[in-house]
Structure 1
């Protein structure tokens, strides 16, 4: 993982999650898979940020040039979703009062994501998966549903990396 690419890439992909907490590991697992893909463009930074996404987003606000797009991959425990279900969260429709509802760890505040979309030209995409297994103690095993979905998330993220940014 080349952290310096965050400051020079057209697209920055942040894989969020704790690899010791079951399905929460989905972000890092997707990054691992994409790093092995020989067809990933050179101008895409793939970063396993664990649970440190907030500080990375603060850095993005302060750097120039900024990437055209950031993609955040994370796990969620949304109501009414099936384990392994992949979906995007639209930053514009997030309630600014909900700070940590979309993740099992310290997901970036909605206000910070909105700050990025309103005050920079960065296009923000948030791709999440509904969890199936969150252990009470450290356990690296992922649920079969989420584990099976990792290649599908990787494919979706790759498509977002190849897609031209909106002007």
Structure 2
């Protein structure tokens, strides 16, 4: 089993950074088994092709435009996801849609694909998340934990792991 949790976003565009911030907190708070890789993909686009290829499950955390209220957490699966990226939040999503298409064309598409998205309030230049998106970070993180547990992954809070060491 090979699982990748990928956070994408631009740290300089406010709420656009939510995907990266989610995976940062995931790494800070949880111990994950070796078959689960957590990666800050930033705005890498096609550079992520090799790392995303042939995964049993790819879980992507990102900012998404759905028409829902800012701070809403959206969870999509498999074929629902490429359609979501026809409505771009920022230029990096062109890269993600291209990578997903390339993986499909080469037969290296992940067996399962999950998107945990947060609707941004602002995409203005700045390094802080808006308060409403900051509040969505925890529910979005928990959706990723649920997705991992559904795959049979033991997601251990670090304070529990440290206490048992």
TM-score of the aligned structures, taking structure 2 as reference length: 0.76
Query: 1:7-86 to 2 correspondence within 5 Å?
Result: 10-61=2-53, 66-79=54-67, 81-86=68-73
Q: Residue 145 of structure 2 aligns with which residue?
A: 158
Structure number with higher helix proportion: 2
The answer as to whether partners of 1:40 and 1:158 remain within 8 angstroms in 2 is: no
Match of 1:141 in 2: 128
Contact 2:71 2:119 in 1 (8 A): yes
Q: How many Å apart are 1:115 and its aligned residue?
A: 5.5
Give yes or no for contact 2:7–2:20 (8 Å, CA) kept in 1: yes
Q: Distance in 1 between matches of 2:141 and 2:96?
A: 24
Structure 2: how far apart are the matches of 1:20 and 1:124? 27
Q: 1:52 to 1:42 in 2, by over 3 A?
A: same
Q: Give structure 1 regions of 4+ aligned residues with deviation exceeding 6 angstroms.
A: none
Deviation at 1:58, TM superposition (A): 4.6
Q: Secondary structure at the match of 2:29?
A: coil
User: Does 1:130 pair with 2:105?
Assistant: no
Aligned residues: 149
Aligned counterpart, 2:163: none
Please state how far the C-alpha of 1:91 moved relative to its aligned partner: 4.1
